[in-house]
Structure 1
Amino acid sequence: MASTIQLTFDAADPGALSAFWIEVLGYRLDAPPPGFDTWEEALDAFGVPPERRNDASACVDPDGVGPRLFFQKVPEPKTAKNRLHIDVRTAVDLRGDERMAALETECERLVALGATRLQRHEPSPPTSHGFIVMADPEGNEFCLD
């Protein structure tokens, strides 16, 4: 049996963080369990009280290629730099000024969604074609590559 991966985020607001990454990656909310048309219907049937309905959220690649992203509510805030981060690959085939301009355009879009721009790294061939370090709305670092 083939294995797959899921990326799991600790979050203060799983629903909002899931909505952010849906916009970044073009993902969609994970479908409700079989037999239910909506998550509300499923959560009602499972007896989940309203105050617990934002304890988790998940989104998936509509094409089934990328990993599932799972967001789980935790009580503590993020306190240190990520030891693992996501590279959002938006300018893979571009180089030089064209690449950096494309990254800047995507950076502006993501800032409008709630991301924070942290640092721009200029191209340094052959090891780097340039990238922008960002953070999602809860401070998780990622790179525009």
Structure 2
Amino acid sequence: MSPIKQVQITFDCAEPERVARFWCEVLGYVVPQPPEGFATWADFDRSLPSEEQGAWFECVDPSGVGPRLFFQRVPEGKVVKNRVHLDVRVATGLVGEERLAALEAECARLVALGAVRERLLPADEDNESCIVMQDVEGNEFCLD
């Protein structure tokens, strides 16, 4: 049995394109080119049956290193805490005030994009500081 080579991260959401475009901005990801024969994703979407229009969206790491992110529309809203979340690593290797400054700067950028700051988890004996946040549909993630 060969080892897994790639992983995709899938988000259940109400507005796939909106959430995908938020995460593109957060991570520097891009929307891939539309399928052959379509000038835009909107053109492709209009070619689908009405019940499938807007049902999914995707974004990818332009370097090809990070996982593909896939966003699919689901009828139910988010009601409880995520069981899995992303850690957005913006302050790797930084400590103390330098780390806090990097976290706060990125937090401000993401809040301007529609994220919500939940709380700062201050450094303790085992962990450095991080900021718990929510994306544009309330999915929790951490700035680490």
Same fold by TM-score greater than 0.5? yes
Aligned match of 1:32: 34
In the other structure, the counterpart of 1:60 is 60
> Matches of 1:23 and 1:51 in 2, distance apart?
28
Structure 2, gaps ≥5 residues long? none
CA deviation after TM superposition for structure 1 residue 50, in Å: 5.8
Q: Deviations over 1:44-102 (max 9, x none)?
A: 5xx31467431100000000011111000011100100010000000002111110111
Paired positions, count: 142
Identity %: 54
Give the Cα–Cα distance (whole angstroms) in 1 for the partners of residues 27 and 68 of structure 2. Answer: 11
| Residue identity in the other structure for 2:13 | A
AA of the residue aligned to 1:42: F
Aligned to 1:75: 75
Report SS of the residue matched to 1:29.
Answer: coil
- Does the aligned pair in 1 maintain the 2:10–2:70 contact within 8 Å? yes
Q: Which residue of 1 aligns with 2:87?
A: 87
Q: Match of 2:19? A: 17
TM-score, normalized by length of structure 2?
0.90
CA-atom RMSD in angstroms:
1.7
> d(CA) in 2 for partners of 1:9 and 1:41?
23
User: What is the Cα deviation at residue 5 of structure 1?
Assistant: 0.4
State the SS of the aligned residue for 1:97: helix
**Aligned letter for 2:30?**
R
Task: Determine the C-alpha separation between the residues in 2 that align with 1:43 and 1:79.
Answer: 29
Regions of 4+ moved over 3 Å: 34-37, 40-44, 49-52
What secondary structure, in the 3-state scheme, does the structure 1 residue paired with 2:79 have?
Answer: coil
* Structure-2 separation of matches of 1:114 and 1:50: 28
**What SS does structure 2 have at the residue aligned with 1:7?**
strand
SS of aligned partner of 2:71: strand
Q: What is the distance in 2 between the residues matched to 1:70 and 1:135? A: 18
